[in-house]
Structure 1
Amino acid sequence: MSKQFLINGKFKNISPFDRAFQYGDGIFRTFVVENKKPRHWKYHYKKIVEDCLAIKIKPPKEKELLSDIHSLFKTNKKAVGKIIISRGISERGYKFNKDILHNRFLIKTKMPSYPKASFKSGVNLFVCKHKLNPSILSGVKHLNRLENIVARQEWTSDQYAEGILLDHDGHVIECISSNIFMRIGKIIYTPKISHVGIKGVTRGLVIRISDQLGFKVKEVTFNLNKLLEADEVFITNSLFGVMQVKKIKNRSWQHQESASLFNQLLENLNS
């Protein structure tokens, strides 16, 4: 059986004293590896560094992470890479020594198989009842994802690809595993990530390249009713890129071209 993970560049067991295991004390990022290379790597590494610094973990060196990826991903076959950076190992209790050394984990899994119809006609979104709570770590992809796990249990039907998450004021924040955008005319709106939510890499890239398609992007606060009035809605993450939404509750949208156009631009960023 081929190796599916590395810890600090080696194939070994995780210690139960690792703070990622004990407290979720760390951060993570997920990305596509194709032809042995991580897609949009410089943007993912930038986020890794930013998130580590946000919770005061010394970031790993880029060359260490790239070396791990090169060691684990031996074939050109497309796969998923997940990097976890934990604060390190400590005894029981929230306190840790100042000289604690972070641990880096690299996990390799199969690339999900997304139905062609999802890209051709769009996907349905479920509106979750669970409301997100404000966090001082807004924007940071830390390991404490219990709110997302609780929300994901709200539906079991395959008819929904994702679930929309709102805050306690009813504002649209994101989806469980992706960011969300809406288009009204030539302006694209996405929730402002200020008190809760994750700033995904693909979210940032869509904001960055929107002007190439003649769109202006605004990060704003809006509720579900405003979302349902949009001309177009799409979601983004690092595995599937951009995917159009075809239905939320009783509101349906016809096929649009924005998602495929954004995916073409994102693909070009790899070349």
Structure 2
Amino acid sequence: MFLINGCQQNTLAAADRATQFGDGCFTTARIATGRIALLEAHVQRLRAACERLHIPFESWDILTTEMQQLAAAKGEGVLKVVLSRGGGGRGYSPTACLTPTRMLSVSDYPAHFSRWRSEGITLTLSPVRLGRNPHLAGIKHLNRLEQVLIRMHLEQTNADEALVLDSDGWLTECCAANIFWRQRQTVFTPQLENAGVAGIMRQHCLNHLSASPWRVREVQCQEIALAGADEVIICNALMPLVPVRRWNEHVWSSRELYHFLAPLCEP
């Protein structure tokens, strides 16, 4: 089901800048028992992205109401919200774009996440790297071609998720998740100032870790840093937290960090 500017429909104007230039942002939220998990964080993510992209969206109360109504009707599943600059004029200039477009959709909750949480997952290293761009780093904008190519390569392997580096070779994230690893009592996660998505669940985990006995470090490092880890986990707003079982010859069985964070991440 799609809701575009308050109307139930599944077609978007060809002139909309979402289709013309990927000019917009989005968030994807978990629906549990008719409610949106971390609703305020998802709205704030969209606000921050619109501010960074200079999209003049102002209908936040209407959007929030629509999000809650769709979630209540779905019960269990996934809610995706896309905000684009809308249509107007031609070429790259956004001057004539005065009315942003809001698009909401709901879908079923991925069944495999439950198995991933109980069994753990395997990783592979993606040959596709993320471009470094501090102007866009962190936000979930609509230009996702890098992730499309990463996913295409991943589907040619037997792994569940992909480790992704940036164009300078620094470990950044996974295809559709952020990553943490533990070395004794210290928890590490990549810096995201130049590439990657600063996920809502990543920040949720960082907030809880900062108030815990765990030491937390956001680092710039290569993927080989995982070789010294005692435990590796990945997260996003839907999973929400999944342990990593294997990457190449490296095998992890510890779930100390996972068992600390998992109850704090469930809706």
Find the residue that maps to 1:160 and give its secondary structure.
coil
Post-superposition Cα deviations, 1:20-73, rounded to whole Å, max 9, x if no partner, equal 011100000000112322110111111110011001012343321222123333
1:126–1:248 CA contact under 8 A, matched in 2 = yes
Residues 124-143 of structure 1: matches in 2 within 5 Å? 124-135=122-133, 136-143=135-142
Residues 146-157 of structure 1: matches in 2 within 5 Å? 146-156=145-155
Gaps of 5+ in 2: none
Post-superposition Cα deviations, 1:219-251, rounded to whole Å, max 9, x if no partner, equal 111111111211111101000111111111111
2:172–2:190 CA contact under 8 A, matched in 1 = yes
In the other structure, the counterpart of 1:19 is 17
2:88–2:96 CA contact under 8 A, matched in 1 = no
The whole-number CA distance in structure 2 between the counterparts of 1:17 and 1:253 is 49
The whole-number CA distance in structure 2 between the counterparts of 1:94 and 1:183 is 44
Residues 1-271 of structure 1: matches in 2 within 5 Å? 4-12=1-9, 13-75=11-73, 77-98=75-96, 100-114=98-112, 116-135=114-133, 136-156=135-155, 159-267=158-266, 270=267
1:19–1:89 CA contact under 8 A, matched in 2 = yes
Gaps of 5+ in 1: none
| 1:7 Cα deviation after fit | 0.7
| 1:95 Cα deviation after fit | 1.5
1:6–1:72 CA contact under 8 A, matched in 2 = no
Cα-Cα RMSD: 1.8
Q: Name the CA shift for 1:133/1:158 in 2 (closer, same or farther; >3 Å).
A: closer
Of the structure 1 ranges 243-252 and 75-84, higher mean CA displacement relative to structure 2 is found in: 75-84
- How many percent identity over aligned positions? 28
Counterpart code for 2:44: K
1:242–1:260 CA contact under 8 A, matched in 2 = no
2:56–2:98 CA contact under 8 A, matched in 1 = no
The whole-number CA distance in structure 2 between the counterparts of 1:216 and 1:61 is 40
Q: Name the CA shift for 1:32/1:225 in 2 (closer, same or farther; >3 Å).
A: same
| 1:116 Cα deviation after fit | 4.0
- Return the TM-score normalized by structure 1: 0.92
The whole-number CA distance in structure 2 between the counterparts of 1:88 and 1:163 is 33
Aligned residues, how many?
A: 265
The whole-number CA distance in structure 2 between the counterparts of 1:100 and 1:44 is 24
The whole-number CA distance in structure 1 between the counterparts of 2:147 and 2:206 is 24
Find the residue that maps to 1:65 and give its secondary structure.
helix
1:191–1:220 CA contact under 8 A, matched in 2 = yes
| 1:105 Cα deviation after fit | 0.5
2:154–2:161 CA contact under 8 A, matched in 1 = no
Q: Name the CA shift for 1:116/1:49 in 2 (closer, same or farther; >3 Å).
A: closer
- Return the TM-score normalized by structure 2: 0.93
Counterpart code for 2:28: T
Of the structure 1 ranges 220-229 and 158-167, higher mean CA displacement relative to structure 2 is found in: 158-167
| 1:98 Cα deviation after fit | 4.8
